[in-house]
Structure 1
Amino acid sequence: MNSNSDLTLLDVTLRDGGYVNGHSWTTREAEAIVRTVGASGVPYVEVGYFREVHEPQRPSASCPPAYLAALAAVTDPPRLAVMVRPGEVPVARIAELTGHGVAMVRVLVSGGSVGKAAPYADAARTAGLAVAMNLTRVSERTDDEIVAAVRACADAGAQLVYLADSNGSLDPETVTEQVGAAVAASPVPIGFHPHDNLGLAFINAKAAMAAGATAVDASIAGIGKGGGNLRLEVIVAHLIVRHGAGLRLDPIAADQTTLAARLRMLADGSTKAVLTGLLDLNLDGAAEFYDMVAANGYDATILTMSDQ
């Protein structure tokens, strides 16, 4: 495994956790989360999507200037990151981020196609921002497809490429294989974004690190899309206990800001998340699955989907 000094943790509570509460974090709540992440020693916090259209009641959904300024003004904050989905904001606006305290832009790469993402990566590099590119739904890709996409991301200017288990369906063996192939082929560092549909986020993160990944995403209490994310407190505690990392667990353990989102995840239950993970279904396109469950129940749905 890489030494802890080589591992970069990035908190995704505000952005990925926003799927739990409809991105309804208030700016004050976001400030509290940024303070918690900073106090724990985690170096990066992703504060939301950067989009053209702003909704005042949902600042983490679009990262308006006042929201970014408030988070950048937090005392001793971690470095701020934003997520960009190609097409949702003009490329020319990426340059604005340098004036709002943002240090990193993470560009989504859907379907392994880097073409639409490349201009955003180039704009971020030109603006002096760190550039990461996130390959989504890697469970749906072959190793060769992942290797080709990773190389294309590096050619486009990415300084870090994440493999995202968007469907929450990977197991440690597959993570080892995919991350190992990416690390062997990539001229830039590889990161891993786990989801916890099958309760494997932590062991998958360990497998990714053992295979050479040097960056990992996590969120407070694991709040996030689908089955949730790797729990930040678990990976922080692991790095402290097993690797002597200079991180702190107390600030995360004392967090109350995310309590409502945690309760919402509990109320929503995990059965659907487990099944979408097992069936390798993308939650963005799982409407048919949810309709089938509502009409026929889980058992009939499992049999039907397994036969497809």
Structure 2
Amino acid sequence: MNPNSKPDLLDVTLRDGGYVNGHSWATHEAQAIVRAIGGSGVPYVEVGYLRDTAVPRRPSASCPPDYLDALAALTDRPRLAVMVRPGEVSVSRVADLPGHDVSMARVLVSGGSVAKAEPYVAAARAAGLTVAMNLTRVSERTETEIAQATRACADVGAQLVYLADSNGSLDPETVTAQVGAAVAATTTPIGFHPHDNLGLAFINAKAAITAGATAIDASIAGIGKGGGNLRMEVIVAHLIVRHGAGLRLDPIAADQTTLAAQLRMLAEGNTKAVLTGLLDLNLDGAAEFYDMVAANGYDATILTMSGR
């Protein structure tokens, strides 16, 4: 791929950034974020997880119909996307999404197995949705495994396959190799979902683009689980300055809806996120790490977990 190519951006502030505040965005806050993303010219915004079990006052945790309708009613907004985790929502909910003006379903693929995801992909395709499949925890996979999983996703109908650095452990060289393996495995477009545990989200995103990724995830101020995500304002400014992209930075920079979440991330600090990134720990492993740090301190915990 030409390194000067401009990837499509997808905003994950409401869904991934929701890990910071327990997905407690009020609907009017979600609307403000969607407006800011739309004003910037970013084409897609992911508005939450699609789940059957609704949680009061946490609409982005389940995307109930009235929440989706409130976002769909906004003018000059980007296209709406939702995240689907197989087993947490009925297939019929996926089929209903076009009625709420949702354009994309992103289906999680854990462990590289597409079997649980396939019914959701089929339902989304039948409903006329754009279907992306997200391969999680790719830092735990070999290039061969990633290539095989990418082909499997394409075979069941994915129109876009994302490689997700869920643990925030990748470096540019590994991103180049993994994205290159995925691109070589299929003609289906490849996307990249970076995390910033090690401060490498931006350079990893650039490496992914150069290696052939045509879609990149980011969030306002980088809010998100672990060490956070790629900062949307950074990638937007980069694409404007270096690639002449028809995007705007002002709507994102001016919006203050995420300030509380940004302060919470700052207050909680980055030391744990950096170390879980270095140790390549997923959420379950990170929880164990945090418990051990509380009991034994950083030094003993690092020595224990790095020797596993």
- Aligned to 2:116, what secondary structure does the other structure show? coil
- Structure 1, residues 83-107: CA drift from partner, whole Å, max 9, x if none? 0000001112211101001000000
> What is the DSSP-based 3-state SS (H/G/I as helix, E as strand, rest coil) of the residue aligned with 2:297?
helix
1:228 maps to what in 2? 228
Residue 206 of structure 1: how far off its partner (Å): 0.1
- For residues 88-107 of structure 1, the aligned pairs below 5 Å read 88-107=88-107
Assess if the C-alpha contact under 8 Å between 1:24 and 1:57 holds in 2.
yes
Partner residue of 2:245? 245
Preserved contact between residue 2 and residue 214 of structure 1 (Cα < 8 Å): no
Cα deviations across residues 220-262 of structure 1 (Å, max 9, x unaligned)? Answer: 0000000000000000000000000000001111110000000
| Structure 2 portions without partners, runs of 5+ | none
Q: Deviations over 1:42-67 (max 9, x none)?
A: 00000000000111200000000000
The farther-off stretch of 283-292 and 117-126 is 283-292
Q: Offset at 1:303?
A: 1.0
Query: What SS class does the counterpart of residue 46 from structure 2 fall into?
Result: strand
CA distance, structure 1, for counterparts of residue 293 and residue 233 of structure 2: 33
| 1:83-140 CA-partner distances (Å, limit 9, x unpaired) | 0000001112211101001000000000001000011011000000000000000000
Query: 1:24 aligns to what?
Result: 24
Residues 12-91 of structure 1: pairs in structure 2 closer than 5 A = 12-91=12-91
Distance 1:104 1:94 in 2: 10
Measure, in 1, the Cα distance between the counterparts of 2:271 and 2:116: 35
In the superposition, relative to structure 1, how do residues 111 and 199 fare at CA in structure 2: closer, same or farther (>3 Å)?
same
Counterpart amino acid of residue 78 in structure 2: P
Matching residue of 2:111: 111
SS at 1:132 equivalent: strand
Instruction: Give 1:2 deviation, angstroms.
Output: 3.9
Q: Where do 1:185-200 residues align within 5 Å? A: 185-200=185-200
> Which residue of structure 2 lines up, in the alignment, with residue 122 of structure 1?
122
Check 1:38–1:4 CA distance in 2 against 1; reply closer, same or farther (3 A cut): farther
- Count of residue pairs the alignment pairs up: 308
102-111 or 50-59: which moved more? 50-59
Aligned to 1:165: 165
Equivalence for 1:180:
180
Conserved 8 A contact 1:27-1:67: yes
Question: 1 CA distance for matches of 2:306 and 2:53?
Answer: 40
Query: Post-superposition shift, 1:6?
Result: 4.8
**Structure-2 residue corresponding to 1:305:** 305
**Structure 1: distance between partners of 2:285 and 2:303:** 19
Task: Classify the secondary structure of the residue corresponding to 1:111.
Answer: coil
The aligned counterpart of 2:216 is 216
Greater shift, 32-41 or 180-189, is seen at 180-189
Cα distance in 2 for residues equivalent to 1:217 and 1:29: 20
Q: CA RMSD in A?
A: 1.0
Q: Is the Cα–Cα contact under 8 Å of residues 113 and 149 in structure 2 kept in the other structure?
A: yes
Q: TM-score scaled to structure 2, two decimals?
A: 0.98
- Equivalent-residue separation in structure 1 for 2:285 and 2:31 (angstroms): 32
SS at match of 2:133: strand
TM-score (norm 1): 0.98
1:286 is paired with a residue of what secondary structure? helix
Measured after TM superposition, the shift of residue 285 of structure 1 is 3.4
3-state SS, counterpart of residue 19 of structure 1: helix
| Percent identity for Structure 1 against Structure 2 | 83
For 1:152, give the aligned amino acid.
A
1:81 alignment partner, SS class:
strand
Question: How far, CA to CA, are the matches of 1:193 and 1:7 in structure 2?
Answer: 12
1:112 and 1:135 in contact (8 A); partners too: yes
Q: CA deviation at 1:287?
A: 2.3
CA shift, 1:174, in A, is 0.2
Q: Distance in 1 between matches of 2:83 and 2:213?
A: 20
Shift of 1:284: 3.2
- Is the 1:4–1:245 Cα contact (8 Å) retained in structure 2? no
Q: Specify the SS of the correspondent of 2:96.
A: helix
